[in-house]
């Protein structure tokens, strides 16, 4: 006997149909594969761009923030300090940037065929993870160079928490991206805001400066940013310099989970009718 299903106007807020995602897992894998193969097709340098981008950014930061502005890096070699921050930050910003226009960017596809829409943002976050891992290899190379030449580098046991940091960042980017993408279907202005917002957000995150470099009275603002303790702890794990704030990490974790669930609920509600408003 075939399965009997019903299409209805309203649906339960918490009916997230996660089972459907599992049913469509092949599509998820194919999307991830597509995202990765397509990114650098027909570029001369191909996957080398994965390396060039963080290298150039590091170089630029080195020039502007280290040489010209003279911002402290906690005694850590600036190349290592900046590259660590950039690698992790890039994962977050790229995931957020690409998930935040899920509905508007894929409107023509979504307008023709049904599949769980959530597949698209999830595939973006996962394919970006692959990109992150490649850039992370580059970072590891730089790290080992300094590790063998600079005695002040003190990697420690907190490195084991890196998968946890990545998980929290992925959930945070996804949750925020889901929320924004759902809202942009109605209020298009957000698209502009988010591009700009991501740039500003980086400066509110200890990518180019250590938290210890911030005047104490401003610190709560920086610490309210759920990314701060993650980036700081990531650098601390490799260098031993900076702060490892377990309370801050717990805050980031809870913040991300709540944001993610909220995003998921709103995304699911939007999914049903967004094609009428886009």
Partner 1 sequence: MSFAVKIENLSKQYRLGLIGTGTLSHDLNRWWHLVRGKEDPYLKIGEVNDRTLKSKNDYIWALRDINLVVESGEVLGIIGKNGAGKSTLLKILSRVTAPTTGNIIYKGRIGSLLEVGTGFHPELTGRENVYLNGAVLGMKKREIDSKFDAIVDFSGCERYIDTPVKRYSSGMTVRLGFAVAAFLEPEILVVDEVLAVGDAEFQNKAVGKIKDVSRVDGRTILFVSHNMNMINLLCQRVILLENGLVSNMGEPQEMINQYISIVTKGQEISESERNSIAGDEYCKLISVRLVEKNKSDISYIDIEKEIGVEFIFDVSQPVNGVANINLYTGDGTHILFSSEKERESFYQPGRYCAVTWIPSGFLNTGLYSISVYFTSLIPYKIHFEKREILSFEVFEDIRNRNINYVGPIPGIIRPVLEWEVIKLN
Residue with tokens 């490799």: 238
CB-CB contact of 83 with 58 (8 Å): yes
Q: Contact between 112 and partner 1 (CB under 8 A)?
A: yes
Least Cβ distance, residue 43 to partner 1 (angstroms)? 11
φ, ψ of residue 116 in degrees (nearest 5) = -60, 120
Least Cβ distance, residue 42 to partner 1 (angstroms)? 7
Q: Is residue 108 within a helix (H) or strand (E), and if so which, with residue range? A: helix 107-110
Q: Could you say which of 14, 22, 68, 113 contacts partner 1 (CB under 8 A)?
A: 113
Least Cβ distance, residue 38 to partner 1 (angstroms)? 5
**Contact code string over 34-63 relative to partner 1, x by CB under 8 A:** x--xx--xx---------------------
DSSP track, 111-139: TT--S-TTHHHHHHHHHHHHHHHHHHHHH
Q: In whole angstroms, give the CA distance from residue 62 to residue 124.
A: 30
Least Cβ distance, residue 197 to partner 1 (angstroms)? 20
Count of residues engaged in binding partner 1, rule: CB under 8 A: 36
Least Cβ distance, residue 115 to partner 1 (angstroms)? 6
Between 48 and 152, whose beta carbon lies closer to partner 1? 48
CB-CB contact of 99 with 128 (8 Å): no
Between 123 and 205, whose beta carbon lies closer to partner 1? 123
Least Cβ distance, residue 274 to partner 1 (angstroms)? 8
Between 117 and 235, whose beta carbon lies closer to partner 1? 117
Q: What is the DSSP letter of 244?
A: -
Q: Which of 229, 122, 231, 118 is nearest to 171 (CA)?
A: 122
Least Cβ distance, residue 195 to partner 1 (angstroms)? 19
Q: Contact between 30 and partner 1 (CB under 8 A)?
A: yes
Q: Contact between 29 and partner 1 (CB under 8 A)?
A: yes
Residue with tokens 């993650």: 230
Residue with tokens 């990314």: 227
Between 35 and 223, whose beta carbon lies closer to partner 1? 35
**Contact code string over 248-277 relative to partner 1, x by CB under 8 A:** ------------------------xx-xxx
Using CB under 8 A as the binding rule, the residues of this chain from 72 to 111 that contact partner 1 are 109-111
Residue 55's alpha-carbon distances to 14, 65, 83, 86, 111, in angstroms, are: 44, 15, 8, 9, 40
Least Cβ distance, residue 186 to partner 1 (angstroms)? 6
Task: Tell how far CA 157 is from the center of its chain.
Answer: 24
Give the count of beta carbons closer than 10 Å to the beta carbon of residue 46: 11
CB-CB contact of 72 with 209 (8 Å): yes
Residue with tokens 């998980």: 167
Q: Could you say which of 2, 14, 44, 148 contacts partner 1 (CB under 8 A)?
A: 2
Q: What residues line the site for partner 1 (CB under 8 A)?
A: 2-9, 24, 26-27, 29-31, 33-34, 37-38, 41-42, 109-115, 186-188, 272-273, 275-278
């Amino acid at each position: 006997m075939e399965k009997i299903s019903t299409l209805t106007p309203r649906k339960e807020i918490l009916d997230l149909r996660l089972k459907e995602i599992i049913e469509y897992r092949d599509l998820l894998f194919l999307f991830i594969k597509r995202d990765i193969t397509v990114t650098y097709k027909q570029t001369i340098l191909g996957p080398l761009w994965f390396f060039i981008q963080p290298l150039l950014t590091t170089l630029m930061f080195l020039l502007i923030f280290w040489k010209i502005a003279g911002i402290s890096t906690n005694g850590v070699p600036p190349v290592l300090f900046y590259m660590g921050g950039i690698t992790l930050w890039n994962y977050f910003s790229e995931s957020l940037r690409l998930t935040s226009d899920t509905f508007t960017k894929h409107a023509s596809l979504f307008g023709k065929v049904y599949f769980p829409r959530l597949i698209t943002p999830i595939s973006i976050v996962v394919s970006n993870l692959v990109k992150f891992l490649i850039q992370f290899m580059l970072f590891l190379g730089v790290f080992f160079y300094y590790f063998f030449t600079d005695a002040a580098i003190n990697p420690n046991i907190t490195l084991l928490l890196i998968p946890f940091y990545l998980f929290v960042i992925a959930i945070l980017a996804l949750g925020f991206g889901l929320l924004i993408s759902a809202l942009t279907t109605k209020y298009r202005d957000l698209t502009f805001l988010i591009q700009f917002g991501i740039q500003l957000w980086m400066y509110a995150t200890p990518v180019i400066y250590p938290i210890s470099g911030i005047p104490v009275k401003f610190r709560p603002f920086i610490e309210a940013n759920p990314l701060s303790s993650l980036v700081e702890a990531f650098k601390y794990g490799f260098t031993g310099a900076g702060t490892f704030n377990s309370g801050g990490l717990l805050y980031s974790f809870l913040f991300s989970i709540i944001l993610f669930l909220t995003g998921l609920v709103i995304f699911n509600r939007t999914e049903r009718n967004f094609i009428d408003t886009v």
